[in-house]
Structure 1
Amino acid sequence: MSSARVEVFYQAHRGAVDEAPENTLPAFRHAWRYPGAIPETDVRVTADGALVCVHDATLARTTDAPAAVATRPVAEMALAEVKAVDAGVRFGAAFRGQRVPTLDELLAEMVQQPGRRLFVEPKAVDLRVLRAKLDEYAVTEQVIFVSGYPAILAEIQRVFPGAPAMTWVGGTPEAIRAGVARWLEAGAPHLSHLQLHLPVVQARAEPESGPAYALEDEYLAETQRRLNALGVEMQLRPFAVTEGALRRFVQMGVRWFVTDGPAAFWRTLAAALLPQDAAQGEPEPIYHIAPLRTWYAALAAGEYRAASLAAEGFIHCSTRGQVLRVANRFFMADDELVVLCIDPRAVQAALRFEAPAHADDSPVQEVFPHVYGALPLGAVVAIADLRRGAHGDFVWPEALP
């Protein structure tokens, strides 16, 4: 199986529940960095008519709102009151000062890069107002709508004719099967995607196959066949994700998933998409320092090409021990850099360890990895910001292996 031939999409639930404070701009930015990730947000309206990205009816769970504010419905608060609370500090000190974003702020981020998509779950929102806002930013065609209510799904189709829309089926295995049966019998009206929750029953005797889920593979394959016949995609939400499980699902033909952690999911998926003969063993990763804008361009293009590929014929890479020396020597004047962690097994072009052109006269030359061709996105298994420490030098990104 090759990642170059398989396109997989996954909803990043509320942006990145496990990796950033949910429904905040850092969460959405984080999700959009990963190939195939489509962040999801919930939209509510404030008392003064502002559309804001909040899941719960109140701010109690996700912000530092004081007791007198925390229990008040967002619908009864002015935007200024919603903006006064901290939506990041409960997740971690690094996110202190993040605010509940307006939909305007989220859409302004969305349009910065072409092709970005977004799942939107409207919660007690006038869909005509939502339509006007999405049209204002010219992103209506890039939105997949979400609702757990058939009546709202029908209303979405009235206001957004032909728009893709998703609902989900969860609960006990019996409840999931019954819910799926109802949607199938009804012809899955108003849906483009049906999400199935997959609780874990037990670990398998063969760990490489992934865990056993509450719904058997045979049932999932048949459900996908029936949904596809109706023009509907099956989206899976496995409550535990392993390479073996994702490999099974992708081989089954599943192309849509949902996750609370887009970075972790992408890394697992990239490994699952490796050809089986290449998946044996785990070589040390190599790394590449890139301007963030170049990585975004790669997401749009479907492959990564550094400027050096055209100028010198290869992409400069480093081992783990070389990254910071390279960064502090050649990138001190640059901002908005990321480090790409690359799995050598997924590199399709020639990969050679060679001395740099500026090598000195030492009898033992240090060699660096050079990639003689474009990088498939599936070879990049992790991405992290390259930041400076207290003394101005770059420091190792803790998120990278």
Structure 2
Amino acid sequence: MSITDKNLGSKAIQWQAHQNSNSEVPENTMAAMNYAWNLGGIPEIDIRQTADGIIIGIHDATPKRTLSVPEADQDKLISELTFDQIQQWDAGVKFGEQFRNEKVPSLKQILAGLSEHSDRQLYLDFKQVDLEALAALIQEYGVARQIIFAHNNHENCKTVKRLVPEVRTMLWIPARFPETAVETFTHIRQTGFDSLNMVQLHLPDAEEKQSWRYKLQKTFIQEALQYLGEAGMELEVLPYKFDQEDLFELLDMGIRRYAVDEPSVFVELLNRYFN
């Protein structure tokens, strides 16, 4: 699917299928990857490393929340478990019976598939991996230009850019405390957005309902969009919740990159906006 901007020429909307709060498919599974790609989006995989050094897709430090794991193993750290151990557990059935027998994928498995489709992209959200091992794996499969590395630690983004310059890097900035988000953005702007290609701003709802839904002020988001555009970079936003009016307002502001928890709802609203 290619959704083209009706106001800004041929610039298309790009969107990330956010994983750990995705409401449509079980997170960090091949089902989730293919679901996003088939909808025209970019899946995200949260990456951790097992005791035997395999990089896998899982968000939490333990398997308890997402896997059908025996009680004795629920609170063990992923870094203490082997890949074979983790493969014994179901990664889909907790989400829904139709996803029974989904397994935690290795990053090798995902990158091998990615390498066969040059038009596809993938977000890697850093949780706990050796960055040199990650860089080597990306280079092994020749997919660096298809990868967006995401983290909230600027130093990790710098390291990945040094190891694999072709990888795009994105710093995500939470906004639970808007003042801190503004300070963080101001700081990275002062570095010249060193080693970054994108910045993602989280958009949680404001405590009190008002005309502008989100905690971060609209004027700040507009300024961030301007500063990044002048630097040849992109702004991505992660609205925790949105309805048609909210999304259309963000689109009207000129924002062309999103992260969403409800991909099918997002795509439906995009089609309304452009048609």
TM-score, with structure 2 as normaliser: 0.89
Shift of 1:221: 1.3
1: CA distance, partners of 2:162 / 2:113: 27
Aligned partner (choices 39, 48, 54) of residue 50 of structure 1: 54
* 2:157 aligned counterpart, secondary structure: helix
* 2:148 aligned counterpart, secondary structure: strand
CA gap of 1:16–1:27, structure 2 versus 1, over 3 A, is farther
Cα deviation, 1:58-77, whole Å, max 9, x if unaligned, reads 11111111122111111111
- Retained in 2: the 8 A contact 1:15–1:39? no
Shift of 1:141: 1.2
- Retained in 2: the 8 A contact 1:169–1:179? yes
- Retained in 2: the 8 A contact 1:235–1:255? yes
| Partner AA of 1:68 in structure 2 | A
- Retained in 2: the 8 A contact 1:15–1:30? no
Aligned partner (choices 159, 162, 165) of residue 163 of structure 2: 159
* 1:189 aligned counterpart, secondary structure: coil
Shift of 1:15: 8.1
* 1:72 aligned counterpart, secondary structure: coil
- Retained in 1: the 8 A contact 2:118–2:146? no
- Which residue is equivalent to 1:214? 215
* 1:244 aligned counterpart, secondary structure: helix
Matches within 5 A, 1:278-289: none
Structure with more of its chain in strand, by fraction: 1
1: CA distance, partners of 2:22 / 2:67: 14
1: CA distance, partners of 2:144 / 2:187: 29
2: CA distance, partners of 1:174 / 1:234: 18
Aligned partner (choices 103, 114, 117) of residue 110 of structure 1: 114
1: CA distance, partners of 2:178 / 2:63: 32
Aligned partner (choices 31, 54, 58) of residue 36 of structure 2: 31
1: CA distance, partners of 2:20 / 2:12: 20
- Which residue is equivalent to 1:150? 154
| Partner AA of 2:188 in structure 1 | W
Larger Rg: 1
2: CA distance, partners of 1:79 / 1:173: 39
Cα deviation, 1:77-125, whole Å, max 9, x if unaligned, reads 1111010111111111111111111112212332343310001123332
- Which residue is equivalent to 1:260? 261
Shift of 1:167: 1.5
Q: Is 2:156 the partner of 1:172?
A: no
Q: Which structure is richer in relative contact order (CA contacts within 8 A, separation 6 or more)?
A: 2
- Retained in 1: the 8 A contact 2:158–2:196? no
CA gap of 1:191–1:123, structure 2 versus 1, over 3 A, is same
2: CA distance, partners of 1:95 / 1:164: 32
- Retained in 1: the 8 A contact 2:144–2:166? no
* 2:36 aligned counterpart, secondary structure: helix
Q: Is 2:130 the partner of 1:134?
A: no
- Retained in 1: the 8 A contact 2:145–2:166? no
* 1:123 aligned counterpart, secondary structure: strand
2: CA distance, partners of 1:272 / 1:204: 23
- Retained in 2: the 8 A contact 1:15–1:27? no
2: CA distance, partners of 1:59 / 1:191: 32
Shift of 1:196: 0.8
1: CA distance, partners of 2:113 / 2:265: 23
The runs of 5 or more residues in structure 2 that have no matched partner are: none
| Partner AA of 1:49 in structure 2 | G
Cα deviation, 1:347-391, whole Å, max 9, x if unaligned, reads xxxxxxxxxxxxxxxxxxxxxxxxxxxxxxxxxxxxxxxxxxxxx
- Retained in 2: the 8 A contact 1:119–1:143? yes
CA gap of 1:241–1:273, structure 2 versus 1, over 3 A, is farther
- Which residue is equivalent to 1:184? 189
| Partner AA of 2:232 in structure 1 | G
Matches within 5 A, 1:297-312: none
* 1:266 aligned counterpart, secondary structure: helix
1: CA distance, partners of 2:6 / 2:21: 26
2: CA distance, partners of 1:173 / 1:43: 27
Q: Is 2:93 the partner of 1:93?
A: no
2: CA distance, partners of 1:232 / 1:6: 13
* 1:7 aligned counterpart, secondary structure: coil
2: CA distance, partners of 1:32 / 1:203: 35
Cα deviation, 1:230-266, whole Å, max 9, x if unaligned, reads 2321111112222222222222221111111211111
Cα deviation, 1:11-48, whole Å, max 9, x if unaligned, reads 1112872111100010111000122x111112222122
CA gap of 1:204–1:123, structure 2 versus 1, over 3 A, is closer
* 2:128 aligned counterpart, secondary structure: coil
2: CA distance, partners of 1:162 / 1:99: 30
Aligned partner (choices 188, 205, 230) of residue 200 of structure 1: 205
Matches within 5 A, 1:198-347: 198-201=203-206, 212-274=213-275
- Retained in 2: the 8 A contact 1:16–1:39? no
2: CA distance, partners of 1:240 / 1:124: 28
| Partner AA of 1:259 in structure 2 | V
